[in-house]
């Protein structure tokens, strides 16, 4: 098994744990508050801090920092960490300024993102927003630590840290809310952000980082990062734009609209976080190495294989999400007895999730394609493509919601995401010599789609076949229906892949056999010992 695949699997495992806790967070949140006034306020308060972080740091500073930092590591480790310390301290100063500005201008910002809120709801949102302005400051510093660890291919600690973030929020909902209200939940968020940072700090220091020592603004590496960074901040993260638009429009719609959209968005990002981001993160340093050596052939081959591996997982997942959207929402948000998540909340959230699922393949490819440009030290193209997609998203969202409500905002997002992916793919292909191993890529993706159609047919049929056999009015009945449909669909996908000779299907089955043999051996030994 290749090192990139091992790292991806490890990150995926810990990302799954993180996402499980993330789901637990939403289960607790939806059970206690449903999709109503308080959750609308809570989610709206996140918009400004999250937008600042995602615009300036996430997918921005890290992709500008890693290629330059790696290039210095190859020739002068000391200067590499002078650069890292400088970037750390510069980020501390800049993000502290943004946190202060966000605190001061919170009333204006909340008025822009939630124009439909009444005076009381707006006042609560302002208070929560001011506290949450600490979050982008802490996460920006943590992001630099993550970038350093990734540069050394130390993916493990960075993959573990988000677990503690979600755990702190869950504890805040359970223990702090009864005593302090929603402010207690918000302070749980800040505590989680601090844990995310502190867990990565010791390993970064051991590698050579001295956080507060250097602020060399004349360092050549800082200028290189600036050239990559400044164009990127003009780029707009499509997901964040969609959430902002949802807050603006949702605040003028029925109570709970913002929460319904946000719940669906967070559900659909589960497979993206587990697989798409894991692939993009682990592939980026490798792509940067190929680019630094000007090995275009190696770059092209590695990228096309990584795309196929990613789509092998994402396309069937998107089909399953589309087919099982209602079951997924009912199982997660109706998990606890006495939940305040109503049937209408379930219906709207499920429809919204289905529209998100349509573009899951495109959303998965965008981070990988964008990082391919970043590895080539080209930040302009992803920025332009993202801006174009964002404009389409905004226009379509305002048009669609006049007639079709909350789910249509997800449809607008999906159309924009597919457009973004197509633009990135076509331009990158041209930059790589009008060839991205086209025959290889087309044949593999075609086979994946054929196997996914078989899977979808079996899975959809299984839903109706299982329904009369279980009590669909109970949680257990819905769980058995969804699990049976998913299991039969998964088996059909792998079987179809083997029949049409899809190599990734054979490799996946091989991995399953290896894992089964590894984990079954202790069980078999224990059983044998019982009868000796």
On whether the pTM is more than 0.75, the answer is yes
Q: What is the rounded average pLDDT of the residues 130-157?
A: 87
Most confident of 33-42, 52-61, 227-236: 33-42
pLDDT in the model for residue 451: 94
Q: Please report which confidence band the pLDDT of residue 6 belongs to, taking 50, 70 and 90 as the band edges.
A: low
pLDDT in the model for residue 233: 67
What are 26-29's contacts with CB under 8 Å, separation 24+?
26/263, 26/266, 26/267, 26/332, 26/333, 27/332, 27/333, 27/335, 27/336, 28/170, 28/173, 28/174, 28/336, 29/173
pLDDT in tens, 390-449: 889 999 998 998 788 889 999 999 999 999 999 999 999 998 888 888 888 899 999 999
Q: Percent of the chain scored above 90 by pLDDT?
A: 34
pLDDT in the model for residue 396: 92
Average pLDDT over all residues of the chain = 85
Residue 119, token pair as written in the block:
């005076």
Q: Give yes or no for a contact between 124 and 182, defined as CB atoms under 8 angstroms apart.
A: yes
Domain boundaries, the chain: 1-28+238-435, 36-233, 437-524
Q: Please tell me which residue, 219 or 88, carries the higher pLDDT value.
A: 88
Question: Residue 241: CB partners within 8 Å, gap ≥ 6?
Answer: 390, 393, 394
Least confident of 142-151, 220-229, 262-271: 220-229
Q: What is the rounded average pLDDT of the residues 299-313?
A: 91
Q: Please report which confidence band the pLDDT of residue 100 belongs to, taking 50, 70 and 90 as the band edges.
A: very high
Reference 332, options 470, 482, 164, 458; nearest CA is 482
pLDDT in tens, 161-211: 888 888 898 998 888 888 888 888 899 999 999 999 999 888 888 888 877
Strands (E), 71-215: none
Rounded distance between C-alpha atoms, residue 191 and residue 198, angstroms: 11
Q: Buried (b) or exposed (e) across 233-262, using 16+ Cβ within 10 A?
A: eebbbbbbbbbbbbbbbbbebebbbbbbbb
Alpha-carbon 76 to chain mean position: 34
Check pLDDT > 90 for residue 453: yes
Check pLDDT > 60 for residue 529: no
**How many beta carbons lie within 10 A of that of residue 124, not counting itself?**
21
Q: Give yes or no for a contact between 401 and 408, defined as CB atoms under 8 angstroms apart.
A: yes
Q: Percent of the chain scored above 70 by pLDDT?
A: 92
Q: Please report which confidence band the pLDDT of residue 528 belongs to, taking 50, 70 and 90 as the band edges.
A: low
pLDDT in tens, 465-491: 999 999 888 888 999 999 999 999 999
Q: Please tell me which residue, 269 or 237, carries the higher pLDDT value.
A: 269
Q: Give yes or no for a contact between 21 and 196, defined as CB atoms under 8 angstroms apart.
A: no
Q: What is the rounded average pLDDT of the residues 246-251?
A: 86
Check pLDDT > 70 for residue 526: no
In sign, the C-alpha dihedral spanning 41, 44, 48, 52 is: positive
Question: Residue 24: CB partners within 8 Å, gap ≥ 6?
Answer: 166, 170
Check pLDDT > 70 for residue 2: no
Rounded distance between C-alpha atoms, residue 67 and residue 63, angstroms: 7
Q: Is 214 helix (H, G, I), strand (E, B) or coil?
A: coil
pLDDT in the model for residue 474: 86
Q: Give yes or no for a contact between 256 and 36, defined as CB atoms under 8 angstroms apart.
A: yes
pLDDT in the model for residue 336: 59
pLDDT in the model for residue 450: 95
pLDDT in the model for residue 11: 67
Check pLDDT > 90 for residue 9: no
- Write down the H helix ranges in 405-474: 406-431, 438-466
Q: Please tell me which residue, 144 or 335, carries the higher pLDDT value.
A: 144
**How many beta carbons lie within 10 A of that of residue 519, not counting itself?**
9
Reference 116, options 184, 65, 40, 25; nearest CA is 40
Least confident of 130-139, 167-176, 242-251, 508-517: 508-517
DSSP state letters, 260-301 = HHHHHHHHHHHHIIIIIHHHHHHHHHHHHHHHHTT-HHHHHH
Residue 517, token pair as written in the block:
């043999």
pLDDT in the model for residue 65: 82
Q: Please tell me which residue, 142 or 36, carries the higher pLDDT value.
A: 142
Most confident of 30-39, 500-509, 515-524: 500-509
The secondary structure of residue 474, as a DSSP letter, is S
Query: Which residue, chain included where needed, has tokens 């991995």?
Result: 511
Question: Residue 63: CB partners within 8 Å, gap ≥ 6?
Answer: 228, 232, 284, 370, 371, 374, 379
Alpha-carbon 477 to chain mean position: 30
Strands (E), 194-342: none
Query: Which residue, chain included where needed, has tokens 């394609």?
Result: 369
**How many beta carbons lie within 10 A of that of residue 344, not counting itself?**
12
């Amino acid at each position: 098994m290749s090192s990139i695949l091992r790292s991806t699997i490890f990150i995926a495992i810990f990302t799954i744990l993180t996402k499980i806790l993330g789901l637990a967070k939403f289960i607790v949140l939806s059970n206690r508050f449903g999709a109503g006034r308080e959750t609308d306020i809570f989610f709206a308060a996140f918009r400004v801090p999250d937008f600042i972080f995602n615009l300036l740091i996430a997918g921005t500073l890290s992709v500008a920092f890693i290629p330059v930092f790696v290039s210095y590591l190859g020739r002068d480790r000391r200067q590499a960490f002078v650069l890292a310390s400088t970037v750390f301290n510069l980020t501390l100063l800049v993000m502290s300024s943004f946190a202060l500005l966000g605190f001061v201008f919170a009333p204006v910002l909340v008025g822009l993102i939630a124009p439909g809120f009444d005076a009381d709801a707006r006042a609560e949102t302002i208070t929560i927003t001011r506290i949450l302005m600490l979050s982008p400051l802490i996460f920006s510093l943590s992001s630099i630590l993550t970038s350093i660890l990734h540069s050394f291919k130390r993916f493990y600690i960075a993959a573990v840290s988000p677990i503690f973030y979600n755990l702190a929020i869950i504890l805040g909902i359970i223990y702090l809310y009864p005593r302090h209200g929603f402010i207690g939940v918000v302070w749980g968020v800040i505590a989680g952000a601090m844990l995310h940072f502190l867990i990565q700090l010791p390993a970064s220091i051991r590698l050579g980082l001295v956080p507060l020592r250097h602020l060399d603004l004349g360092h050549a590496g800082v200028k290189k990062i600036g050239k990559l960074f400044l164009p990127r901040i003009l780029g707009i993260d499509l997901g964040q734009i969609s959430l902002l638009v949802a807050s603006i429009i949702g605040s003028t719609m029925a109570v709970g609209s913002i929460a319904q959209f946000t719940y669906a968005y967070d559900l659909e990002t589960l497979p993206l976080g587990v697989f798409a981001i894991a692939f993009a993160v682990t592939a980026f340093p490798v792509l940067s190495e190929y680019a630094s050596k000007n090995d275009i052939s190696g770059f092209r081959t590695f990228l096309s294989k990584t795309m196929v591996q990613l789509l092998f997982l994402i396309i069937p997942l998107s089909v399953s999400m589309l087919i099982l959207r209602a079951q997924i929402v009912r199982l997660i948000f109706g998990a606890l007895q006495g939940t305040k998540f109503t049937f209408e909340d379930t219906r709207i959230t499920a429809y919204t999730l289905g529209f998100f699922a349509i573009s899951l393949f495109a959303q998965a490819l965008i981070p990988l394609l964008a990082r391919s440009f970043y590895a080539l030290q080209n930040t302009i193209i992803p920025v332009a493509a993202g801006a174009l997609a964002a404009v389409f998203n905004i226009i379509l969202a305002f048009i669609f919601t006049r007639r079709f409500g909350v789910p249509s905002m997800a449809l607008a997002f999906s159309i924009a995401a597919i457009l973004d992916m197509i633009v990135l793919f076509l331009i990158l292909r041209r930059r790589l010599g009008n060839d991205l191993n086209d025959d290889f890529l087309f044949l593999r993706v075609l086979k994946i789609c054929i196997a996914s159609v078989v899977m979808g047919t079996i899975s959809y049929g299984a839903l109706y076949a299982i329904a009369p056999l279980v009590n669909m009015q109970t949680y257990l009945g819905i769980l058995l229906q969804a699990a049976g449909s998913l299991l039969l669909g998964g088996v059909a996908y792998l079987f179809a892949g083997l029949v049409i000779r899809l190599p990734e299907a054979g490799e996946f089955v091989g991995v399953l056999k290896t894992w089964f043999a590894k984990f079954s051996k202790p069980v078999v030994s224990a059983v044998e010992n019982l009868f000796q």
